[in-house]
Amino acid sequence: MENIDTLVEKYFENAVKDLQELIKINSENDKSTSSNEQPFGKGIALCLNQFLNTASKDGFINKNIDNYAGYAECGTGDLIGILAHLDVVPAGNHHKWTYPPYAAEIHNNKMYGRGTADDKGPLMAAYTALKILKENYTLNKRYRVIAGCDEETSMRCLKRYKETEEIPVFSFSPDASFPAVNGEKGQMHIALTRDFIHQGLEPIKLLGLTCGEIINIVPEEAYAYFSGNIAKLKRQLEEIAGDDLEIDYFEEKYLRVKAYGKAMHSMHAPDGVNAMYKLFKYLAHPDLDYGPWELMHWIRSMALIFDDKNISKNLGINYSDEFGELTINLGLLRYKSKDLQLNFDIRYPVTMKPSKFESKLHLITEKIMMLGQIKKHIPPLYVSEDNKYLKELLKAYKDVANEDAKPVTIGGRTYCTAMPNSVSFGAKYPQDEELAHQVDEYVDLDKFKKNIKIYLQALINLNNM
């Protein structure tokens, strides 16, 4: 039997090509092309079928589950699952990318594109490892790569899978961090609303506020639109503006104020810069005077609360344990005419009881002076370090990466929260920067090769159990 390094070298070139074919497909959730046959849009369905066609050519048993998810399977015996996803978050403004987000271009040994890090790259690393196992080893178990199409929004794909398909005895998901993730924070989405009365007599009127495209990303841009005596307001804002504020006329009769931040996955919200928080602070300046008056005073109050580093403390919901701290992200805000809507993504520590956190909702609504409700709640996940399957994954990581292999807890949510007896396993290394959901997302091809080796060793370990 050839060693792992030699085997991976033989398969690596095709693995890169297979990944490029997936990256080239825009698999953002697209409501404009969704239908009963393509529930998440044309692009995601196309991407799923591209993956299944590749797996079919490679001799796997395949199934398309109504374009919600699909799988590639081989072997006999107990079923081991590999949980990954093909949908991606929006690439945003393509002009901000150094290389096009759906071209899969390779520069300086890095493949650029939306999904290279989250989660098409890790999916194809694990898939290639299974392909090598299938073609070079005697299989003692069944293995199924389960590719979902709705992980980034509501995980309806995995819910649909579980309605009709077999549940693996153990699964790992290449959608988080090495060495392995045995704990995931609880997640809660909270929606808050409030109506503001338009008096109609204000010399300067705030017509609209907006930020964010998806709730689990720290918004990098936020906008405010004004009418009335906008020349005066423009002069006032220009006197206080920094490099992170842009002021200009919009459609000749309006003033558009744009604040810039730094995008980040909401599980790392304190490391990002929320553009809406910046905009609040500018609009709260005491020299500015606009209406509706009630809204202006609310913004001035919120400017004291909304802070990237201290918002949970300011709201009275700060909590931490040995696995991490509570984080909160204002991911979406919409105000037009009189209706104001805010949507928060909150990640809370593993040891915090869900019922205890739900009881704190009133603290948020009272502080922000809005009506609120919980729109989504996923309790925390924890798998014991004594789990026999987890031990084999950690051993594989330690043997290949030659690094300590102690499991960690993350703020992100993966398929593992919805699939029994499962943990996340890669593909981000402890020292790596966060690339998921970022502009210029990429995968370093040397690390892509290393991932294949780690997954192959892990599958060998599981196969020998």
The set of catalytic residues is 87, 151
The count of C-alpha atoms lying within 13 angstroms of the C-alpha of 220, restricted to the half-sphere facing its C-beta, is 12
Contact 419/158 with Cβ under 8 angstroms?
A: yes
Residue 448 tokens read as 């892509």
Q: Taking every pair of C-alpha atoms in the chain, what is the biggest distance, in angstroms?
A: 83
Contact 4/453 with Cβ under 8 angstroms?
A: yes
Q: Concatenate the DSSP letters of all residues of 52-117 into one string.
A: HHHHHHTT-EEEEETTTEEEEEEESSSEEEEEEE--B-----GGGSSS-TTS--EETTEEESTTTT
Q: How far apart are CA 189 and CA 232, in angstroms?
A: 39
Q: How far apart are CA 200 and CA 227, in angstroms?
A: 11
H or E element at residue 399: helix 388-401
Contact 144/73 with Cβ under 8 angstroms?
A: yes
The count of C-alpha atoms lying within 13 angstroms of the C-alpha of 212, restricted to the half-sphere facing its C-beta, is 25
For 321-348, b where at least 16 C-beta lie within 10 A, e where not — what string? eebbebbbbbbbbebeeeebebbbbbbb
First-to-last CA distance in the chain?
19
Q: Write the burial class of residue 76 (CB in 10 Å: 0-12 exposed, 13-18 middle, 19+ buried).
A: exposed
Contact 87/415 with Cβ under 8 angstroms?
A: no
CA 309, 318, 411, 372 dihedral sign is: negative
- At CA 145, angle to CA 144 and CA 150, rounded to 5? 130
